[in-house]
């Protein structure tokens, strides 16, 4: 796995305002990016594949909605399907669950982040972007506690500052960066 450096995966959580923030970050990634990128974006459950299609239009790297039990692979951006929690198993595969909402959300960023922290420990980068609730703060803290690198989008820049601010207030963010800085940071992984 971690052939290219100290990290094995990147997880990103986004809510309101997430589409444009994600486009900025993912648009900069080459098709051959050396890590898997796994994303929970809060979304309406009726729009089955819309988010993936919009992002794919603007990105070189492959974007796809997670299929349950598939293996996590580098160079792919995985998006959690609407109405399911997304978790990462210790054997590097995805699983989905219909458990009740967490932080009023399904998929929940906390659920993804906490399971990813358990699997990747210090080889994980966690990023919390714009949003109007506090999903992701507890998950980011779990990543930090496991020794991973944690980043919150700068609340000044975020379209909806509440979510990155909640992560910062919880003491979960090692770095507070703008989207441009996040781009540079992950391109150098």
Partner 1 sequence: MDTENIAFKELLDSIRLVYGYDFTDYAEASVKRRVNNFMANHKIEAIDQLAKMILKDEKVFEEFIQELSVTVTEMFRDPPFYKSLRETVLKRLATYPFIKIWVAGCATGEEVYSIAILFKEEGLLNRTLIYATDINQKSLQTAKEGMYPLENMKQHTANYQKAGGNQPFSEYYTAKYNTVMFDKSLKQNIVFAPHNLAVDKSFNEFQLIICRNVLIYFNQKLQNHVINLFYESLCPFGFFGMGNKESLLFSDKQQFFEDVDRKQKIFMKTK
Chain positions contacting partner 1, by CB under 8 A: 67-69, 81, 83-85, 87-90, 95-101, 111, 114-115, 118
For residue 150, which phi and psi values (nearest 5 degrees)?
A: -120, 135
Is 142 exposed, middle or buried (CB count within 10 Å of its CB: 0-12, 13-18, 19+)? Answer: buried
How far apart are CB 101 and partner 1 at their closest, in Å?
8
Please name the helix (run of DSSP H) or strand (run of DSSP E) that holds residue 63, with its range, or none: strand 62-65
C-beta of 77 vs 177, nearer to partner 1: 77
C-beta of 140 vs 152, nearer to partner 1: 140
How far apart are CB 88 and partner 1 at their closest, in Å?
7
How far apart are CB 49 and partner 1 at their closest, in Å?
11
Residues with catalytic roles: 15, 42, 135
Alpha carbon distance, N-terminus to C-terminus of the chain = 14
Torsion angle in degrees (nearest 10) through CA of 142, 42, 25, 136: -20
C-beta of 3 vs 46, nearer to partner 1: 46
């Amino acid at each position: 796995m971690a052939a290219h450096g100290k990290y094995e995966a990147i997880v990103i959580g986004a809510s309101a305002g997430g589409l444009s923030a994600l486009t900025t970050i993912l648009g900069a990634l080459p098709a051959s990016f050396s890590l898997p990128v796994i994303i929970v974006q809060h979304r309406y459950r009726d729009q089955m594949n819309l988010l993936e299609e919009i992002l794919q239009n603007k990105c070189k790297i492959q974007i796809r909605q997670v299929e349950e039990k598939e293996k996590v692979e580098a160079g792919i951006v995985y998006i959690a399907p609407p109405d399911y929690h997304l978790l990462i198993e210790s054997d590097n595969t995805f699983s989905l669950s219909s458990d009740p909402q967490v932080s009023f959300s399904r998929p929940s960023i906390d659920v993804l982040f906490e399971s990813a922290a358990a699997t990747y420990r210090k080889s994980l980068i966690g990023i919390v972007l714009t949003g109007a609730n506090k999903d992701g703060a507890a998950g980011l803290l779990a990543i930090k506690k496991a020794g991973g690198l944690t980043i919150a989008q700068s609340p000044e820049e975020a379209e909806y500052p509440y979510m990155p601010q909640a992560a910062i207030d919880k003491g979960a963010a090692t770095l507070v960066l703008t989207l441009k800085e996040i781009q540079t940071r992950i391109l150098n992984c």
